[in-house]
Structure 1
Amino acid sequence: MKNVLIRIQEYKGTASETEKGIIAWITEHPQEASECSIQGLAQETFSSPATLIRFCHKMGFKGFKEFQKSLLYELAIRKETDRKRFEDIKEEDSLEEIVDKVTYKTISSLENTRKLIDMQVLEKCVNLLIESNAVYLYGLGSSLLVARDAYLKWLRINKECFICDDVHAQYLQAMNMKKGSVAMIISYSGMTQEMITCAEIIRDKGLPIILISRLDDSPLTRLADYNLCVASTEVLIRHGAMSSRISQLNMIDILYTAYIRHNFEENMQQLKRTHIRKQESPES
């Protein structure tokens, strides 16, 4: 069966203005295009049945019916393929299926996180980081890895920041936070008891908390001043945080890049200054 959507995208560069309108509508409404009559499609694309038939011929189809049948088949195959890709990993999965499933879960998580971002909340968090004297980072497990990534990033641009790997040290860090500083807590579930304890200590001190967590009511979202929501294709009880970790890292990258934009020239100079050159291997 011939692939419709790829064919029309490949043809787009040499298409006429009318044909570009047809391609745009079919690309945006593939399911409707596979079901409506040639008269209906002509009306939607501001063309004519004769133009659509010529277009189908150019795409290598005998006529509109073959074009539509191929599109319907393609959409069904894509839907089934996507369904399989987003299924949980199974023991009998091939290596190729594992590659597809892990990759597409990550892509989906990033795309959904973009849709969840509240720009006003994000802007307030960036301004809070800019105005703060120091950033205190908190996290456990895979979230601690994300916190450490944030620590290394802000260290590059000489922003005072603190992180502890040991949870008891994190409690002490929370107790010792100074006025003018901001806490950033990373917890996908929003229910990690140790992070709740840290948040309660910080809250009692009257210091602001930025939380990176899922979009859900949780003990941590109720304690935080701002929640930067991340998406994930994982359930809460999972074998290992994968796509949720990527979403959290992506959020750190967004905050970091937005922070650099403030005093851009100064921050870029600082990045150049703190660049650590890799030692080249001596020639034999």
Structure 2
Amino acid sequence: MAINDNILLKLRDMKDSLTPVERMVAEYILDNMEEIPHLSIKNLAQLSKTSDASVLRFCKTMGYSGYRSFIVSISASLGSMDEQQDDPYTDIQPGDDLSIIINNISRNNCKSIEDTLSVINRNEIARAVDALRECNRIVFFGIGASGLVALDADQKFSRINKMCRTCTDGHSQLESAILLEKGDVAIFISNSGETVEILESLEIAKKSGALTVAITKYNKSQLADKANIVLSISTPEITIRSGAMGSRIAMLTVIDILFAGVASSDYQNVKRYLSKTHKILASKH
């Protein structure tokens, strides 16, 4: 499947954080995707029980200058959504055969990565990579499953001689945030974008002068609104999978992209650092 910017995936993820009127428009579009490219703004307003002005505001909320450009994007996204419906996310069911579980979890994880690549902003990735290349130090913030992603990021960037710290509890996060300075990068990892401890640390990090990067679900959240750079992920958390399976895989992929971007831009030094760390670890085997 070609990986493209997919407005219908963005709508799926953004829907629950929209205003009630915007949500009415979004739900009608998602329930009637095939007919949307043929509707005028007045038709869509009537069918979604809203108004022309509400539909136009909705288009602007989704990042479009007007209704026409929004409809063009809908048309372009329909093909990939057909594939999504043919191969949907699958939850674990009682008594599933192990071979079914293996196939479903593997397919769901692949789809989480594909969906994330459909919504993530490439320009924001480039900005984050540039900042990480030039920064004095990196501090990763995450709680629970997001904290595990932060630890993975710390391990990767530490191996290429980046000064890193990871904070996975509220107290250490506040302490680290207050000690940040201009030239530092603070990366905040939260699927919901509404974790209280993360938001408190973000405010302090910004006042300390650090550049703030958010890795969070594509929706309207305080974290996405307040961070300097936002790297969005896309994956539904369904029932048993809600133990952050989908979001964790998507977030780890974003971390890998950032690491590879930094490593590629400074390849000779990175190769030397990785060789040194590999040798010292190999000597312990």
TM-score by length of 1: 0.66
Q: Quick check: 1:89–1:98 contact (8 Å CA) kept in 2?
A: yes
Partner residue of 2:180 out of 177, 180, 188: 177
Matched with 1:138 is 141
Matched with 2:263 is 260
The CA deviation at 1:112 is 1.0
2:243 is the counterpart of 1:240: yes
Q: Quick check: 2:92–2:240 contact (8 Å CA) kept in 1?
A: no
Partner residue of 2:90 out of 87, 94, 101: 87
2:223 is the counterpart of 1:220: yes
2:188 is the counterpart of 1:190: no
Instruction: Please give the alpha-carbon distance, in whole angstroms, between the structure 2 residues aligned to 1:210 and 1:221.
Output: 9
4+ residue stretches of structure 1 with deviation over 6 A?
78-81
The CA deviation at 1:236 is 9.4
For this pair of structures, how many residues does the alignment match? Answer: 201
The CA deviation at 1:238 is 5.9
Matched with 1:204 is 207
The one-letter code matched in structure 2 to 1:224 is: A
Q: Quick check: 1:189–1:236 contact (8 Å CA) kept in 2?
A: no
The one-letter code matched in structure 2 to 1:82 is: D
State the Cα RMSD in Å.
Answer: 2.1
Secondary structure of the 1:184 match is strand
Which structure exhibits the higher relative contact order, with contacts defined as CA atoms closer than 8 Å and separated by 6 or more residues?
A: 2
Instruction: Please give the alpha-carbon distance, in whole angstroms, between the structure 2 residues aligned to 1:216 and 1:141.
Output: 20
Matched with 2:123 is 120
Instruction: Please give the alpha-carbon distance, in whole angstroms, between the structure 1 residues aligned to 2:139 and 2:271.
Output: 23
Q: Deviations over 1:20-54 (max 9, x none)?
A: xxxxxxxxxxxxxxxxxxxxxxxxxxxxxxxxxxx
Q: Quick check: 1:209–1:225 contact (8 Å CA) kept in 2?
A: yes
The CA deviation at 1:142 is 0.6
The CA deviation at 1:213 is 0.7
Gaps of 5+ in 2: 1-82
Identity of aligned residues (%): 34
Matched with 1:166 is 169
Instruction: Please give the alpha-carbon distance, in whole angstroms, between the structure 2 residues aligned to 1:229 and 1:81.
Output: 24
The CA deviation at 1:119 is 1.5
Q: Deviations over 1:103-136 (max 9, x none)?
A: 1110100111111222111111100111111111
Partner residue of 2:111 out of 108, 129, 145: 108
Matched with 1:72 is none
Matched with 1:277 is 282
